[in-house]
C-alpha cells in the first residue's frame, strides 16, 4: 500500500493541527466552558419519532452494505488517481503491493486483488459483478430511504435539531472538540432535547453534505452519463477525481460511524440506546436489548448477502436485472454518447484486458497481417456478408477520441478509427425480428470458451458505435484487439469485444452461451447494466 505524500501530508495536517491546537488551548487556558441548553418537555422539537428511528436504522443497514460492496469494487482496481488516464504509478493511493511491471503484459484483470469476505461484499477476487449488484440494489433503497427521511425532517420540524441556525455553533463545536481531542468528556446536553454543537454539526454533515456528495459523485463514473454530458465529470474535475472523491466520502462515513458509535457508548450507553431504539428518554435494559438485537439483524443480513452472492449468484444477478436495470435504463438508456476529446487528451497508456487469442487460426491470420481475415456478418439479416479488412477500409471511415470506462474502475482516452456499426447494419439489413447483435471473439475468456458479448441493435446505430481497426492513428495492436474490435462508448469496456471473429444478428441472446448476454455476464454475473 502506498499513499502519495501530496495527499498524506494535507490529511495529517487536517487531523494534527486542530488536535495540537486543542492541546495547546487546554494546557495554556484550561478546558473551555461549554454552554449546555436545558432539556425538558417544553423544548420543541424533541425526541426521536418512529419514522426517524426506522429511517436511521435502515440508513445504517444500507450504508454498511454500500461500504462493503464498494470496497469490493475498489479491490477490482485497487488504485486511485487524480488523472483520467490511470497511468500506472501515477496513482495517489495504491492498495496493492504490486508495481505494474513494464517488462511483460500486465492486464487490469491481473491487477485485481483478493478481499476478505469479512470486509468485502461478496469477498474474494473477481467478484465485481456481484458486488455491483449489491451496491446498486442497496443504493436504490438507501436513496429512497434518505429522501423520505429528509422530507419528514422538514415536514415535522425535526430539521431544526440538525441544521445550524447561528454562527455561534462554530465556536461552540470547537469548545466541544477541545474536550474530545484531549480525551475529556464535556458536559453533555440530553440528546433527547438537544445535541451538543459538534454532534449537531457532524449529523448535519452526514445527512446534508456526505450523503448528497456520495450520490452526486457516483454517476460521474457512468460511461453513459459522462460520454453524453461531458460537463458532468468536470464538476469534480474528471472521472477519476469523481471516483477518488466517492472513496474519500466513504472514508468520511467510516470516520463518522466510528466516532458516532464510540460516543453512543461512552456518553451513557443505556440511555442512548433507549432513545435510538425505542424513542424514550429512559435507561431500561429493554431498550439496550432491542438496540443490540437490531444491530445483530444487520450483521445477519450482511452474512446473508455474502452467502446468497456465493450460493445463488445467478439469482442475485437476475434480481438486480429485474429491480435495478429498469430504473437505470429509464435514467441512462437511449442517451447517445457525444463526448469527444482532443488529440492532446489521449492517454499515454491504456490498461489492457483480456486473453490474447492463441488459436492456430488466429495466429495464421496474424502472421499474414490479416490479409486472409474475413469478418463474418450473418444471422437474421437479408444480406449476410464476409468482409476483408480492405472491404472495411473502403467503407466510410469514422474516427473518435473517447473515454473508455472499465467495470473495474479504470479509464483512459484513445482515438479510434473504423467503420460505423450503423453502416454495417445498413449493409446487412437486419430482419424485423432481429434485436441484438452478438460479437464473437477469437480470444478466450478467463475460464476457457470463446469471449463474446451482445448489444441492442438500436444502441449500435448510435454514433460512437464503431468497429475499430485503428487506435491512435495506427493499426490496432495485438494487445488492443487486432484486427478488429468494438467501441460502444455509452457502455462499459467488457462489452467491447476485441479480436472480433463474427457478428451474428439474433432476436435474443438467451440462446447464446449461458443466455445472459455475454461471456462475463455468463461467467462473472456481470449485469446488463453496462451503462453505469
Ligand atoms: N475478446 C475479448 N475482448 C475483450 C475482453 C476480453 O477479455 N476478451 N475484455 C474487455 C474488457 S473488460 C475491457 S475493459 C476492454 C479493454 O480494452 P483494451 O485492452 O483495449 O484497453 O476490452 C474488452 N474486450
Ligand atoms: Mo473491463
Grouping H, G, I as helix, E, B as strand and the rest as coil, residue 257 is helix
Q: SS3 letters for 372-431? A: CCCEEEEECECCCEEECHHHHHHCCEEEEEEEEECCCCCEEEEEEEEEEHHHHHHHHCEC
Does the Cβ of 441 fall within 6 Å of ligand 1? yes
Task: Report whether residue 443 contacts ligand 1, using a CB cutoff of 6 Å.
Answer: yes
Which residues make Cβ contacts (< 8 Å) with residue 419, sequence separation at least 6?
Answer: 392, 395, 396, 397, 398, 466, 467, 469
Helix (H, G, I), strand (E, B) or coil at 115: strand
The ligand 1 atom nearest the CA atom of 471: 20
Whether the CB-CB separation of 86 and 412 falls below 8 Å is answered with: yes
Residue 332 is predicted with a pLDDT of 84
DSSP class of residue 158 equals G
Q: Which three cell numbers stand for residue 388?
A: 476483408
Give 488's strand partners. Answer: 465
Which atom of ligand 1 is the closest one to the Cα of 452? 1
Ligand 1 near 442 CB (within 6 A) = no
Supply the pLDDT for residue 228.
93
Predicted confidence (pLDDT) at residue 373 exceeds the cutoff of 90 = yes
Dihedral (CA of 34, 35, 38, 39) sign:
negative
The pLDDT of residue 367 is 97
- pLDDT at position 479: 97
Q: Which residues surround ligand 2, an ion (CB under 5 A)?
A: 353, 406-407, 493-494
Which residue, by CA, sits nearest to atom 23 of ligand 1? 494
Residues 6+ apart with CB under 8 A from 181: 18, 19, 22, 23
DSSP for residue 518: B
Ligand 1 touching residue 405 (CB < 6 A): no
Report the pLDDT averaged over residues 151-156: 98
Ligand 1 and 347: CB distance under 6 A: no
115 neighbors 75 (Cβ within 8 angstroms): yes
Q: Has residue 334 got a pLDDT over 80?
A: no
Question: pLDDT tens for residues 48-98?
Answer: 999 999 999 999 999 999 999 999 999 999 999 999 999 999 999 999 999
Cα-to-centroid distance, 499 and ligand 1 (Å): 9
- State if residue 128 touches ligand 1 by the CB under 6 angstroms criterion: no
Residue 381 has pLDDT above 90, yes or no: yes
Q: Whose CA is nearest to atom 19 of ligand 1?
A: 352
Q: In what order do the strands lie in the sheet with 93-94?
A: 2-3, 93-94, 79-80
**Bridge partner residues of 400 (DSSP):** 416
Atom number in ligand 1 closest to CA 357: 1
The ligand 1 atom nearest the CA atom of 350: 21
User: What percentage of the chain reaches a pLDDT higher than 70?
Assistant: 100
Q: What integer pLDDT is reported at residue 493 of this predicted model?
A: 98
pLDDT of 528 > 90? The answer is no
pLDDT of 135 reads: 98
Mean pLDDT of the chain: 97
Q: Give the distance from CA 348 to its chain's centroid.
A: 24
pLDDT at 437: 98
Average pLDDT over residues 353-370: 96
pLDDT at 329: 86
Share of the chain above pLDDT 90, in %: 97
Please say if the pLDDT value at position 463 is more than 80: yes
Q: What is the 413 CA–ligand 2 centroid distance (Å)? A: 14
Are 357 and 499 in contact by the 8 Å Cβ rule? The answer is yes
Quick one: pLDDT at residue 1?
84
Please indicate whether residue 486, judged by its CB atom, sits closer than 6 Å to ligand 1: no
Amino acid at each position: 500500500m502506498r499513499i502519495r505524500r501530496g495527499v498524506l501530508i494535507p490529511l495529517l495536517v487536517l487531523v494534527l493541527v486542530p488536535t495540537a491546537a486543542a492541546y495547546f488551548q487546554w494546557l495554556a487556558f484550561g478546558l473551555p466552558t461549554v454552554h449546555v441548553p436545558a432539556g425538558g418537555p417544553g423544548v420543541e422539537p424533541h425526541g426521536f419519532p418512529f419514522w426517524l428511528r426506522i429511517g436511521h436504522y435502515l440508513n445504517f443497514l444500507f450504508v454498511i452494505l454500500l461500504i462493503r460492496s464498494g470496497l469490493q469494487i475498489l479491490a477490482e482496481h485497487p488504485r486511485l488517481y487524480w488523472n483520467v488516464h490511470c497511468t500506472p504509478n501515477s496513482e495517489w493511493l495504491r492498495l496493492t503491493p504490486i508495481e505494474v511491471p513494464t517488462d511483460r503484459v500486465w492486464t487490469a484483470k491481473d491487477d485485481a486483488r483478493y478481499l476478505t469476505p469479512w470486509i468485502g461484499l461478496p469477498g474474494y477476487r473477481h467478484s465485481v459483478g456481484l458486488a455491483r449488484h449489491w451496491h446498486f440494489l442497496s443504493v436504490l433503497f438507501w436513496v429512497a430511504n434518505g429522501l423520505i427521511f429528509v422530507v419528514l425532517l422538514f415536514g415535522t420540524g425535526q430539521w431544526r435539531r440538525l441544521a445550524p441556525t447561528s454562527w455561534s455553533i462554530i465556536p461552540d463545536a470547537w469548545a466541544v472538540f477541545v474536550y474530545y481531542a484531549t480525551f475529556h468528556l464535556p458536559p453533555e446536553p440530553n440528546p433527547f432535547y438537544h445535541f451538543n454543537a459538534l454532534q449537531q454539526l457532524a449529523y448535519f454533515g452526514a445527512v446534508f453534505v456526505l450523503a448528497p456528495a456520495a450520490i452526486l459523485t457516483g454517476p460521474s463514473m457512468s460511461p453513459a452519463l459522462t460520454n453524453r454530458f461531458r460537463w458532468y465529470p468536470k464538476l469534480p474535475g474528471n472521472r477519476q477525481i469523481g471516483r477518488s472523491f466517492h472513496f474519500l466520502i466513504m472514508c468520511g462515513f467510516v470516520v463518522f460511524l466510528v466516532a458516532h458509535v464510540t460516543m453512543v457508548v461512552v456518553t451513557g450507553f443505556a440511555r442512548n440506546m433507549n432513545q435510538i431504539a425505542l424513542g424514550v428518554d429512559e435507561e431500561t435494559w429493554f431498550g439496550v436489548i432491542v438496540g443490540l438485537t437490531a444491530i445483530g439483524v444487520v450483521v445477519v443480513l450482511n452474512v446473508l448477502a455474502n452467502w446468497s452472492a456465493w450460493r445463488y449468484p445467478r439469482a442475485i444477478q437476475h434480481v438486480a436485472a429485474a429491480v435495478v436495470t429498469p430504473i437505470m435504463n429509464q435514467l441512462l438508456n437511449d442517451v447517445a454518447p457525444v463526448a469527444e476529446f482532443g488529440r492532446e487528451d489521449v492517454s499515454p497508456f491504456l490498461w489492457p484486458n483480456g486473453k490474447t487469442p492463441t488459436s492456430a487460426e488466429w495466429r495464421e491470420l496474424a502472421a499474414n497481417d490479416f490479409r486472409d481475415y474475413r469478418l463474418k456478418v450473418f444471422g437474421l439479416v437479408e444480406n449476410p456478408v464476409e468482409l476483408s479488412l480492405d472491404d472495411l477500409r473502403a467503407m466510410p471511415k469514422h474516427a473518435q477520441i473517447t473515454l473508455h470506462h472499465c467495470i473495474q474502475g479504470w479509464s483512459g482516452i484513445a482515438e479510434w478509427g473504423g467503420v460505423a456499426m450503423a453502416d454495417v447494419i445498413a449493409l446487412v439489413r437486419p430482419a424485423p425480428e432481429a434485436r441484438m447483435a452478438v460479437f464473437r471473439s477469437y480470444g478466450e475468456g478467463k475460464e476457457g470458451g470463446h469471449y463474446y458479448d451482445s448489444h441492442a441493435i438500436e444502441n449500435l446505430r448510435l454514433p460512437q458505435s464503431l468497429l475499430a481497426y485503428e487506435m491512435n492513428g495506427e493499426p490496432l495492436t495485438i494487445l488492443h484487439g487486432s484486427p478488429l474490435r468494438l467501441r460502444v462508448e455509452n457502455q462499459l469496456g467488457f462489452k467491447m469485444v476485441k479480436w472480433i471473429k463474427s457478428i451474428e444478428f439474433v432476436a435474443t441472446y438467451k440462446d447464446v452461451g449461458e443466455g445472459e448476454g455475454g461471456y462475463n455476464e455468463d461467467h462473472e454475473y456481470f449485469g446488463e447494466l453496462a451503462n453505469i
